[in-house]
Amino acid sequence: DTAVSQTPKYLVTQMGNDKSIKCEQNLGHDTMYWYKQDSKKFLKIMFSYNNKELIINETVPNRFSPKSPDKAHLNLHINSLELGDSAVYFCASSPMAVSTGELFFGEGSRLTVL
């Protein structure tokens, strides 16, 4: 069973569209994250969420919004997609509200905006 799963794995879409990437973890972890990996492989945190508190990286455009229906899910919604949004998006989870240990990553979702 996959511990952290993301769907879709690949997404190709046109500029201006709205899309979502879903993430689910079955590890019982308290905190979930979204990271963006750009074309140069640089990993940058976008959000962290632990059921009570959403922490947003201030550099993330407000076109990006996380939605958590429950503790096991943290979906990423992106409005009005732009070319620069093309990247691989990783969902991750950790067992504690603070990052004191390992992050468990999903397989990534490659988003291509045309």
The residues that touch other proteins, with contacts defined as CB under 8 A, are 33, 40-45, 48, 55, 88, 90, 92, 98-103, 105, 107-108, 110
For the CB of residue 44, give the shortest distance to other proteins in the complex, in Å.
8
Residue 83, φ and ψ in degrees, nearest 5 = -55, -40
Inter-residue contact 9 to 109 (CB < 8 Å): yes
For the CB of residue 30, give the shortest distance to other proteins in the complex, in Å.
14
Q: Which two tokens stand for residue 51?
A: 């059921």
- Smaller CB separation from other proteins, 32 or 78: 32
> Given its phi and psi angles, is residue 83 left (phi above 0), alpha (psi -120 to 50 degrees) or beta?
alpha
For the CB of residue 69, give the shortest distance to other proteins in the complex, in Å.
22
- Smaller CB separation from other proteins, 3 or 114: 3
- Smaller CB separation from other proteins, 7 or 105: 105
Inter-residue contact 47 to 34 (CB < 8 Å): yes
Q: Which two tokens stand for residue 87?
A: 């990247």
